Every structure is written in C-alpha cells, then in structure tokens.
Structure 1
Amino acid sequence: MTTKFYDRLSNDFTQLLENPIDYNVTIEVGETPVNQTFEVHSYILQSRCPYFKKKFNETPFNEKNIKVLKMNNISVKVFDVIIKYIYGGTLSLENLENSIIFDLLTSSHELELDELVEHLQTHLVTSNNASWLKLNFAHVYQTCYQVKNFDTIQKFCNNIIAKHPNTIFESEKFISLPEDALISIIKLDDLQEDEDKIWDHIIQWGRSKNPTLPANLDEWTSDNFITLKTTLKNCLPHVRYFNISREQVLEKLYPYLQLFEPKLWLDINTKLLTPEKQISSIILPPRKILSATSTIPIPSIPSIPSIPLIPSIPSNVITDEHALELSSWIDRRETTYTENNPYEFNLLVRGSRDGFDVKTIYNICDKVSNTVIVAKVKGTGEIIGGYNPLEIDKIEKKWCFSQDSFTFSFKTENLKNSIISRVTSFDYAIYNGPNNSWLQFGDARLQFGNALNLGGNLKTEKKSYCGIATYFGYEKSIRSNSNCFSVEEFEVLKVLPK
C-alpha cells in the first residue's frame, strides 16, 4: 500500500513560490504600469506546463544565468492564480468575478493547462455563474469558436441558441461570427427559427463578408453572385430548402437564383409542384419546432448539473436573475427572490425591432402602467433603467406623482453590486414628455438633475444621462458620472402578477 502526502507536498511547493530560493526564471506579466515580475523555477514550470517546456527551450539564459520572459497579454491577477496552481495544485475562485474567471480560462488554454480548462468551464456553466455567460453571450460564443476546444461552454451556448436564436442572430456581433460557429448553429435540428429566416441570416452574414457588393440586388452582376456563393459554399448545404413555403421560395430564394446549382433549384420547384415525386437532392429533415404550448425538455450537459437554459423573461438585455431582483424591488422585499417569480414580464418595445426614438415608447405604450425600461449603455456594458407604476400618456406633457417608482443599475462586469434608487420627491417622480421626445425620472429643475433622463434617438444621439446632482428627487445616483450616452439596445416590459 502506498501512502500519498499531497497536502504537505502542495504546501512545500507553495512556500517555494513565495520564497523563490535558487530561481532561474523571471516572468514579467501584465501591461505597464500595472505589471509585476514573478521569480520562478524552470524545472517546476516545465514539468507542469507544456507551454513553458517549449518556451524555455527557445529562451537562452542571460549573463546572470536567468531566463527572462514577458507575458503582457495576461493580467497580473490571472497569472497569480495560474502560478499558484502550477506550484501547489490549488485553485481558489471565491473572490474572483466571472469576467476574470473567463480570462483565466482563455489564458489556461493558451498555456495548455487542460486540467484547468476543463474545471473552469464546468465552474462557469453551473447555475450560479450561468447568468454571466448569458449576459455576455455574444463575446463568450465568439471566443469559444476562436479557441476551438471549449466544448462544455459550446454545448451550453448551442442549447441557448437552439431555443432562443435571436440571442445571437440579433446581436451586433453576429456578422463577425467565424464560419464554423455559424455552421454549428444552422446545423441544429431543434433551432427554433423558421427556415426562410435562417436563409435571411445566412445571406446577411455572407454579404457582410463582402462589403463591396452593391446594396441594391438589381445592380448585381454574375461576378457578384459568384463572390457570395464562394463565401457561403460551406453554409448553403445546411439550409433545409424543402421546408420553405412556396411564397418564401419565390420571395427570398428566387432573387438569389444564381447561388443554386441547377439540379437543386429544379428539385426545389419539383417538390413544390409535385410533392410525391422522387428527386435526387438530399432532403434534410424538418427542424423540431416546438409549439407555444409544448413543454421544452432541458438537456443537461454531461457530467455537470442540469442548467436552466430557458429564460422566462423575453429580453435580450436582462436575465431571469435580473427579473427576480426587479420583482423584489417592486415588492419592497429586504431579500431578493431566488425562484418562483411572482411577476411575468411581457415585452412591449425593443429598440432593434421597433426603433430607438423615445416617441416610439409613447406610441406603443400609451395608457399602459407598471412598466420597466431597461437599456444597455453603449461602450460600457452598463445596464440601467427605471420602474414606472403610472400610465404612460402619449398626449399630455406633465409631471406625475408617484411613491413607488425607482431607477436602478444592475451588477455587471464593471459594477460590483446592483443599485436601486427610490423616488423621494413624489410630485416630480416621472416627467411625461411625448411631444419633445423625453422620458424622465426625477426633478429636472437643476441642470443634469434627473435621476434618469432618456431623450431623442437612444442609439444615434447622445442625449440621455443619469444625474449625480445633490438633489434630483431620487435617493442616489445609479451611474458614477453624468456624461451623456447612447445605448446598444433598450426594451420596455410590462410587469404583470402571475
């Protein structure tokens, strides 16, 4: 029988890292001025890390018999975790934000630390951390396919995309997806999207790769179609053409006739005219589209806990966890709901769908009460918003009395905790301003005095801001500055008791 004293071994090597006697390597980590030099031992790093084994073979000793490496692409915080893992075989993630853990994952892949890569993926997809992945979905998904071997997170992402394809199709980063990532999406049998819309997305992606193609299809030459066909040659075979209606074939496929091989185009039309006739083209099975009343089985990723992939809130800006937090604030609870949300949230307005002008809110939400507006600030990733218990009025411009309205900002990568700011000046709680395209929370009698001021076209104009004045009718500021901003996306949701 062999007895293994791993704890003592780990502790001794950790002590050697803290007091690097006889070190023969220095590694400068991070970008100036926030960089740090680690003094380490080549034999330990070579035996534990394939990357360093190759790197040290390429790096000569200097006149002091020291190998000097620079790793400016890894932060000091991330490398500190990695080097402690290499020396002591220990890993502590308790005090790290999920954004740092994701950076740790990508750096671990770069250093070929396969054991750490697998562990970190499993950690990120567990239910306690999955909300961060959803909140930063486009970035996570794109990174996974650039890196190639994040299989666990890829499965997590594909499960979300299958049930909620607009998560990626409506993202600003959709057109920058790698080809193999797009193919993995359109190959999904349970992708909940009509086939003609999948065709639209593929064409959109292909045209974005060739920005010199004319915007007007009537101006295209044969060479233009050949260019697009070459770009999409690996995507087109995965479209399920025989599940597209006659009307959509005429409207959407026919304008791109030159993309099709003559035999395939003939078979598509043959099936439309004489469905029973045999054809030689491969007929892919129809996608498993679920009806609105279907119960969606949630697949679990092997060897990790099952993940609640289907959000109950129809939002591209906030998650189920955010909805629970909002519901808790509406009910003035001291503790946050963790499950069984007593409210449902119905989507009324989405900027990318309905337009970004504030007047759109008044036109669509006229006479609607109990609404939440949420917005993702462009360039910062902040999620801010306000709750309005009053009816929105597209006709009358006025100040409105409320004791229950509040503004908020949610915890994100750049904000440690969520912030709620309740109304204190009840007579000036909400400003209803449809004529001049303003929606305001708080007293605007002072310059930059609103707790939240949304104005004009939220995407193209920088008229919106959050006040940091001493007095604006709400408890506190929800942003650290009063700089005007534009948004990447915004939504208005109706809050209803279940």
Structure 2
Amino acid sequence: MTKFFDRLSNDLTQLLEDPIDYNVSIEVGEAPNNQIFKVHSYILQSRCSYFKKKFNEIHFNDDHVKVVTMADTKISIQMFNVIIKYIYGGIISLEKLENSIIFDLLIASNKLELDEFVEHLQIHLVNNNASWLKLNFAQVYQTSYQFKNFKIIQDFCDGIIAKHPAILFESENFQSLPEDKLISILKRDDLQLEESKIWEYVIQWGKAKNRTLPTNLDEWTYDNFLTLKEALKQCLPYIRYFNLSLEDVLDKIFPYQHILESKLFLDINTKLMAPNRQISSTILPPRKLLTKTLPTRNILISLSSNIITDERALEISSWIDKKATPYIENNPYEFKLLVRGSRDGFDVITIYNICDKISNTVIVLKVEGTEEIFGGYNPVDWDINCNQYKMTQDSFAFSLKTSNMENSILSRVVNNFDFAIHNFPRDLSLGFGHTLKLVDNLKFKKKCQCGNDLGYKKPIRSEGYLNHFLFPHLFSVEEYEVYKISPKNNLK
C-alpha cells in the first residue's frame, strides 16, 4: 500500500486558504477584532467530534451556510488558526508561539475534543518546555487536574511533587486538594517524605474536611474518630505503616488508632514486636528516599502574589543582577511579602510604616481598569522620618509584559542619581523619580502617576498615557505588593 499523505495535507490546506464551496462560517474573537473562518462542514465533522455535534444543532441560513460563534470557548484567533490548520492538513507549527499560548492552546484543544492534538501538545510541553511548566507550576498543576485526559501533564506534575513535596504539602492550597490528587501522590514509591510526615499531612487534610472536629484531641469522641475515618478511607490504604518506627507508632499512630481497622492496628504492633511473624495485612514497599537532600534552591515554592507570576519574579531578579538574559529557573532571591494593599490598606503611609528602614525592596502594582503592571526596585531603605530624595545608582522602574502588552519595559536610573528615590512620607508620596510615583490613597484618590524623567532611561507607560511630569496622566491602583528581596544563600 502506498500512502501520499504530504500531497493530501497540502491540498486540504489549500482548500482552507481558498474555501471553495464553503458551507460553514465560524466567528472567532469579539467585534471589531473578530475574524470569520470559512470552512467545510464535512471536513470538520469527520475530524472533530465537537464540531460534529455543534453542526447538528445549527440550521443553514438562506445562503445555505451554517453560522457558528466561538465566543463561549474563549479561543483566540491566534489559537484557532493553529487548530484549524491541524484539522484540515494535520499540520502543527508551535515554533513561534509563547509557552503560555501553547498551554492555552492545550486547554482549547481539549474543549474541542481533539484528543490527538491534546496528547501532542502535552508531550511537546513536557519534552521541550519543562522549565516553563516548573516556573508556572501552581497554574499548570491546578489546571491539569480539571481535565481527565491531561495525564501526561499530571504525571509530570506528580513527579515534581514527589521530588519536592513542600511545593504541595506546605502550600496554602493543600487542605483543599481534591482526594484523587492526594491519592495519586500517596501511591508514589518515590515521594521524598518520611512516612511519619506523610501520615501527619494526611491527618491534617482529613481534619480540614471536617471543620467541626475539636481542636484538642483529648476532647474527641468516638464519633469524631469515625468522622475522620470516613473522610480518609480512600487515602489510608496508601500509608506505608510497616515502615514506621516504634516511636512514630507510639507518638503519631496510637492517638488516631480508632481511624484504622483493628486488624491493621494489631498487625502494625505485631510487626514491631515480632518482625518475623506472619500477618494478613498488606505490606507496601518502602519509599525510595534519596540519600542526599535535594538542594534548597531547586525547591519550587510558588510565589504567593496576587499580581506577578514566578516567571515575572525571575525577570525582576535578573534585572537586579543586571543580567543580559532573564533567569529561567532557580531564582537566586527570596521575595518576602511585606505589604499587600488588599490585606494591609492602600495608604502610602502604610508602606512607610511597615517598610521603615528596610532596603532592597520591590514594589509591584496593578493599575485599576487597564490591567497594566508597574513597579520599581529600591536598593536603599525607605525612611518615615526623612522627607527628601535619596541617592542610588541601582534603582529601576518597570512595566511588566501582560496580555495587553507585548514586552516588559525596564527603565534604570542613568542620571541625576541624587534624585533617584522619591522618599516623602509627609507629602504622602513615594516613588522612582517621576517615572513612577505613588501618592496618598492608591485605590481611591487616583493620584498615582507615570511620567517622563530625565534621571531614568525611558518612560514605562505608553505614549497615549504620558505627559510631562507637571501634567501627568493620573491613575488609581487595583492592588499593590511590596517585597523584601534577599539572596537565598544568605538566608538563616
């Protein structure tokens, strides 16, 4: 049998580009920036079950064309261009796409039930873009378990957690972790945690499912233990009980013995007292713990920010170190949250009160109504008792890449170093020259501003918003955060 797939693919792709006798019109995006794709129902129906069902629900109009809108799918024009070329010609080109777009494309392909494409995109991300997956681990992990056929990504994430369990077990989201996610981790022989610690985490997770349980264990009734037992019944079989020490059984298992089957608890004690005696309970193999502790710098603890991603934090770190290319993993700095507007308040004086005498800080903020993200790095300390400019040659302001902005903008102080940092607590203002200035109440007063400043290399806001600093375009802030930046190798 001879197969001429290349010629077939090319001919069908040409049909897409010159849609002779099309009978379906697909609208992607929102007006006025929408795009109409003229396609053929018989091709889409044979290649995509989603469109087969969709076309059955729609009747032809007077022009014998079925009109379909993709507004509810949140699929962009860029993504749909890739998808439709795959459907017609089996052609996939990902080289010019950002990793975030490829991940969104994976979600979109899953919505369209393109199983082959979904598998290919997962393999591509794991094999070629593992660094990006690690940098965006929280998002990737949470998303992957929303879809049952993201198995390749799920296995990748489980492998990361097995090596660096703190990323999951010490996260603020651990207690709300779905049961199937927890079980998939407990099953792993390579989970790098002592079994006693795993037991403690499982108990913690079970208690979180029943907030009415007494805090003090001495106050628990038998019914309380039955409640916890019911919550953990699917997880308990994956604990390696027979790898626990006598001390761990006495200190950690014994207080919760009522959540175990009586035969299992008897067998645990039997093995401790008479190791060679036969028991009926299943003995799971010990976990394969590494003899060497993995370097702390490789542990992927996600930045808990309402504004910036781990990837953006790496970018800021590379600017602090004046690197020509951004760090892609293993951030050399710890970002310690000092102030958050939604938590601590939006008055500038709040920043001075909390950050007084603290140096090496990064401020990031999200602009109300535009989603722009601005910020700055101050290597010298903020001073609530000082109303003056401060000198430094290492400060910078920035605007970060967002969905509405193609690239980040970095603006270092290059002149007028004596006026680099605007430290005026009595005037309720602080900032980086006139390049970025925060004034009064950031959320309600609408006095914040970005302007032209000869001391800094370039403006960080688009020309449409910029004027001379005497007449700046003012804005308010949706959220802001201040971080203390410390080298990780200096942490105590």
Q: TM-score, normalised by structure 2?
A: 0.70
Matched residues in 2 for 1:137 and 1:469: separation? 36
Deviation at 1:144, TM superposition (A): 1.9
Matched residues in 2 for 1:377 and 1:163: separation? 34
The residue that corresponds to 2:275 in the other structure is 276
Deviation at 1:126, TM superposition (A): 3.8
Cα shift readout 1:236-286 (whole Å, capped 9, x = no counterpart): 2222334455665556545544322223334445556x3736444333333
The change in CA–CA distance for 1:202 and 1:384 in structure 2 (over 3 A counts) is farther
Cα shift readout 1:355-410 (whole Å, capped 9, x = no counterpart): x989xx99xx99998x57587979999987755555x6999979753212334565
AA of the residue aligned to 2:40: H
1:7-406 maps to which residues of 2 (within 5 A)?
A: 7=7, 9-29=8-28, 36-57=35-56, 61=60, 65-71=64-70, 72-77=72-77, 78-127=79-128, 129-210=129-210, 213-214=212-213, 216-217=215-216, 222-244=222-244, 249=249, 252-254=252-254, 256-270=256-270, 274=273, 276=275, 278=277, 279-292=279-292, 312=298, 316-317=302-303, 325=315, 329-330=319-320, 332-333=322-323, 335-336=324-325, 345=332, 347=334, 349=336, 387=377, 389=379, 401-406=391-396
AA of the residue aligned to 1:183: I
Percentage of matched positions with identical amino acids: 55
Deviation at 1:12, TM superposition (A): 3.7
Deviation at 1:441, TM superposition (A): 5.7
The change in CA–CA distance for 1:413 and 1:43 in structure 2 (over 3 A counts) is same
Deviation at 1:469, TM superposition (A): 4.7
Residue ranges of structure 2 left out of the alignment (5+ in a row): 346-350, 463-473
Deviation at 1:293, TM superposition (A): 5.8
The residue that corresponds to 1:468 in the other structure is 450
Deviation at 1:332, TM superposition (A): 3.8
Query: Contact (CA 8 Å) 1:410, 1:419: kept in 2 or not?
Result: yes
Matched residues in 2 for 1:227 and 1:147: separation? 30
Deviation at 1:110, TM superposition (A): 3.1
Cα shift readout 1:320-367 (whole Å, capped 9, x = no counterpart): 97687556534545x3267999xx826484679xxx989xx99xx999
Matched residues in 1 for 2:444 and 2:265: separation? 48
The change in CA–CA distance for 1:105 and 1:476 in structure 2 (over 3 A counts) is same
Deviation at 1:190, TM superposition (A): 2.1
Cα shift readout 1:98-127 (whole Å, capped 9, x = no counterpart): 333222212222333233222212222244
Q: Secondary structure at the match of 2:411?
A: strand
Q: Secondary structure at the match of 1:134?
A: helix
AA of the residue aligned to 2:91: T
Matched residues in 1 for 2:198 and 2:299: separation? 23
The change in CA–CA distance for 1:189 and 1:386 in structure 2 (over 3 A counts) is farther
Residue 437 (structure 2) aligned to one of 446, 449, 452: 449
Query: Contact (CA 8 Å) 2:429, 2:437: kept in 1 or not?
Result: no
Q: Secondary structure at the match of 1:276?
A: coil
Matched residues in 2 for 1:351 and 1:165: separation? 26
Cα shift readout 1:296-340 (whole Å, capped 9, x = no counterpart): 9xxxxxxxxxxxxx964765239997687556534545x326799
Residue 426 (structure 1) aligned to one of 417, 420, 442: 417
Query: Contact (CA 8 Å) 2:44, 2:52: kept in 1 or not?
Result: yes
AA of the residue aligned to 2:189: D
Q: How many residues align?
A: 461
Matched residues in 2 for 1:368 and 1:98: separation? 36
AA of the residue aligned to 2:141: Y
Query: Contact (CA 8 Å) 2:167, 2:299: kept in 1 or not?
Result: no
Matched residues in 2 for 1:224 and 1:32: separation? 57
Residue ranges of structure 1 left out of the alignment (5+ in a row): 297-309, 456-460
Query: Contact (CA 8 Å) 2:396, 2:412: kept in 1 or not?
Result: yes
Query: Contact (CA 8 Å) 1:30, 1:76: kept in 2 or not?
Result: yes
AA of the residue aligned to 2:332: F
Matched residues in 2 for 1:12 and 1:482: separation? 53
Q: TM-score, normalised by structure 1?
A: 0.70
Matched residues in 2 for 1:263 and 1:439: separation? 68
Q: Secondary structure at the match of 1:147?
A: coil
Matched residues in 2 for 1:167 and 1:378: separation? 30
Matched residues in 2 for 1:215 and 1:312: separation? 38
